[in-house]
Amino acid sequence: MVGYLIDEDEDEDDNAEALQFDFNTIRIATDNFSSVNKLGEGGFGAVYKGRLQNGKDIAVKRLSTNSVQGEPQFKNEVRLLARLQHRNLVRLLGFCLDGNERLLIYEFVPNLSLDRFIFDPIKRLRLDWDTRYKIIGAIARGILYLHEDSRYRIIHRDLKTANILLDEEMNPKISDFGLARLFANDQSQADTGRVVGTLGYMAPEYTRRGHFSTKSDVYSFGVLVLEIISGQKIHSWIGEDGEDLLTHAWKHWMEGTALDLIDPILRDGSNGEMMTCIQMGLLCVQENVAKRPTMALIILISNPSSDSGNLLSTQIFPLAVKIQQKVPTFEHTMCLI
C-alpha cells in the first residue's frame, strides 16, 4: 500500500486556508494567463509565469479540471504536498480553487528544465562533469526525501529530465511530485489501471501491470543518470547497431568499454566517478525489481567522502557483471495497459 500518513499533531499554520490564493490575485499575477507568460504545457495542464504584488515570481499550473478530485480531497492533498520541503524539490506555495478552476502555485525556478540543457548542442556545454555529478547526487537526495525522509511516502511516478528544473546555480529541483494523487481516478495504491508516466522512463512492471513502488522511481532515476552522463535521450537510437540507450549501455558494460558511454564533451571528468555513475544507472534499470538498489544505497554509492561509498563501488562491479540478465528494451516496454 502506498500513500500518505496524516500526522495528527500538525500545527494548524499550514492549514488549507493559509495556502489558498485568491483567483483574482493569480489572474493579475499572470496577466490573465496571457500566452506571453505561458511556460509550457504538460500532461496535467498549462504552466504560466506570474509575479505577485510583493515582487515574488511564481509558476502557476492550471490543472485540466475535468478529472481533478473534489474540493475537500484536493485541499487535503495540496496541504500534504505543501508540507514537503527540501532544497531539491520545487516548493508548492499554495493553490487556488474558483468554480471549475484548480490552480497550483509553485516557486518559480528560473533556469528551465534539465532536458533543455543536456540535449541542446550549445547549452550542454554549460554542464561539465562536476556539475552533472552534483546534479545526479542532488536529484538522488530529493528522491530519497520523497521516499523515506519526509513524513509521507511519495512515489513520484514520472521522473524524467523534463521534470528536473534548475535554479540560478544549476541546483536541480524535482517538479510534479504527488501530482498523480490530485486526479480523481488515482487510487493511491500500488496497483492501478491508470498508468501515469512517460514511456522509456517507466519501469517494466509499471508499464505492463500498472504496479508502481519506490523501486519504479529507482528505475526512472537510473534512466535519468544514463541520459545525464551520455547526453543521449532514452528514445534515441544509438551505437553501430542503432540500439536504444539501455541496450547500448549494457553492451558497453559487458564489453568492458563502459566509459565509451560518456558524453565526449565530459572526458576530462573523474573516471572513478563516471564508472560509479554508469554502475549505479545500470543497477537501477534492472528488470528484477528486488535487485534494484534503494535510494538510500544510491546516496551511499554516490557520496565520494563516504567509506561505505568506496566499499560499495568496489563491490558493485562484480555484482553488475554477475547480473547478465536480459536487457529491457523498448519492445518490452511498449505494451501499455
Ligand X SMILES: Nc1ncnc2c1ncn2[C@@H]1O[C@H](COP(=O)(O)OP(=O)(O)OP(=O)(O)O)[C@@H](O)[C@H]1O
Nearer to ligand X, 163 or 279 (CB): 163
How many Å apart are CA 177 and CA 164, to the nearest integer?
11
Q: How far is the CB of 177 from ligand X (least distance, A)?
A: 11
Strand partners, 99: none
Q: How far is the CB of 106 from ligand X (least distance, A)?
A: 4
Q: How far is the CB of 7 from ligand X (least distance, A)?
A: 26
Q: Please state, in angstroms and as integers, the Cα–Cα distance from residue 186 to each residue in 73, 157, 183, 212, 321, following that order.
A: 12, 12, 6, 12, 38
Of 57, 98, 158, 263, catalytic? 158
The length of the chain in residues reads 337
Inter-residue contact 101 to 62 (CB < 8 Å):
yes
Nearer to ligand X, 161 or 213 (CB): 161
- Interacting residues toward ligand X by CB under 6 A: 39-40, 42-44, 47, 59, 90, 106, 108-109, 112-113, 158, 162-163, 165, 175-176
260 is catalytic: no
- Residue 283 CB coordination number (10 Å): 21
Rg (CA), the chain: 20
Nearer to ligand X, 47 or 299 (CB): 47
For residue 61, say whether it is annotated as part of any ligand binding site: yes
Strand partners, 41: 46
Alpha-carbon dihedral angle through residues 326, 217, 243, 194, given to the nearest 10 degrees: 90
Nearer to ligand X, 37 or 279 (CB): 37
Q: How far is the CB of 253 from ligand X (least distance, A)?
A: 30
Sign of CA dihedral 254, 160, 167, 137: negative
CB-nearest residue to ligand X: 42
| Closest among 180, 174, 176, 178 to 89, alpha carbons compared | 174
Q: How far is the CB of 115 from ligand X (least distance, A)?
A: 8
Helix spans in the chain (H): 16-19, 23-29, 71-82, 115-118, 129-144, 204-209, 214-230, 245-254, 271-284, 295-302, 307-323, 330-333
Q: How far is the CB of 151 from ligand X (least distance, A)?
A: 23
User: In the numeric block, which cell numbers belong to residue 206?
Assistant: 509499471
- Residue 228 CB coordination number (10 Å): 26
Nearer to ligand X, 158 or 205 (CB): 158
Provide DSSP, 90-129: PPEEEEEEETTEEEEEEE--TT-BTHHHHTSTTGGGG--H
Please enumerate, by residue number, every residue annotated as part of a binding site for ATP.
Answer: 61
Please enumerate, by residue number, every residue annotated as part of a binding site.
Answer: 61
* Residues labelled catalytic: 158
